[in-house]
Amino acid sequence: MNDRGVVIVSAVRSPIGSFRGSLASLKASELGSIVVKESLTRAGLNGADVSEVIMGQVCVSSILIRKIVNSLKKIKKCYKSVVTGYCSIKSGESDVIVAGGQESMSRAPHAVCLREGIKFGNCNLVDTLMEDGLMDAFYDIHMAITAENIAEKYAISREAQDAYASKSQQKAEAAIVAGHFDKEIVPKNGTVTAGNASGVNDGAAAVVLMSQEAAERKGIPSLANIVAVAQVGVEPQFMGLGPIGAIKLVLKKANWTKEEVDFYELNEAFAAQAIACVQELGLDPEKVNVNGGAIALGHPVGSSGTRILVTLLHTLERTGKRKGVASLCIGGGMGIAVAVERK
């Protein structure tokens, strides 16, 4: 891999719809197409300029092969699409890539396998939302159980988790009232407020990645440079701890100290998970999820990784700060992080 610079020239997301809420009528692909088109428009590009579009999605109804590929699928969702695009441009294979994620948890169907027929008796419908999106592929446990494991490991009380969740709601409400999300969201009727956000959501997000030379050649200003990316593995039962190793590694690759980072976006899969990561890393809580996180805003699993990156980029731009890190845990036992810097 060579030393080509990789920049982000556009970053947008949809509103986040509550489960069976304002975005439920749209397919995940329709949500994705909205943010892809808008991201190109804002960058002043058209489809002919793009080498590849990489969009991640978790709930794709592959229930019969979950045990084999579900962990890979979750790894390859929205945030991995950004890393894949970064590597493609860095290697010289591409110049312009749109990367992101899309999810409609509201439209995840119930399914039954009838390929071999039913001779007699009952057959069960499987909830693909649960099977594809919320179950661990290795231990066959719900993601909430992984959070309980972390709470027990770090002695995080119910009261501490509730206090964290309440603070996330308050920060998100303040950010919404202040208009902090206005620039990053593609306008659409119906949005989620701090009071009505659900943990099961619909939404999409996208960023446009370019080689620095291509952006300069076309006269397209960048939002930030991608300085480093990192991925680590953890025990699946404690998948929520993935950001700990990922953030440590991405800081090492970027040659940054944790103190010089202006803002951290840490996906809030669960309060216990977020608290443990902040504590273990020794981060300043005032720098973490300054606009609230997924507990307040919602967590459409296929797009949340790109969503936190979009929010981080706009937060850096709005405040005039330079350095940021976005990170999230991944079902199956991984963590991933990206370090970005505004010039």
Count the neighbouring beta carbons within 10 Å of the beta carbon of residue 104.
27
Identify the active-site residue in 59, 180, 314, 329.
329
Identify the active-site residue in 59, 78, 180, 314.
78
Residues 6+ apart with CB under 8 A from 202: 16, 17, 19, 21, 23, 24, 26, 28, 31, 103, 104, 105, 106, 107, 300
Count the neighbouring beta carbons within 10 Å of the beta carbon of residue 94.
18
Residues 6+ apart with CB under 8 A from 177: none
Answer yes or no: 87 catalytic: no
Identify the active-site residue in 59, 180, 299, 314.
299
Q: Which residue has the tokens 């990645």?
A: 209
Query: Is the Cα torsion angle 164, 166, 172, 177 positive or negative in sign?
Result: negative
> Hey, what are 319's tokens?
């405040």
Residues 6+ apart with CB under 8 A from 145: 136, 237
Residues 6+ apart with CB under 8 A from 200: 19, 105, 106, 129, 299
Cα 269 from Cα 242, distance rounded (Å): 11
Answer yes or no: 123 catalytic: no
Answer yes or no: 277 catalytic: no
Strands 17-18 and 96-104: unpaired
Cα 98 from Cα 243, distance rounded (Å): 24
**CA dist 240 to 46, 229, 264, Å?**
38, 18, 16
Count the neighbouring beta carbons within 10 Å of the beta carbon of residue 91.
11
The set of catalytic residues is 78, 299, 329
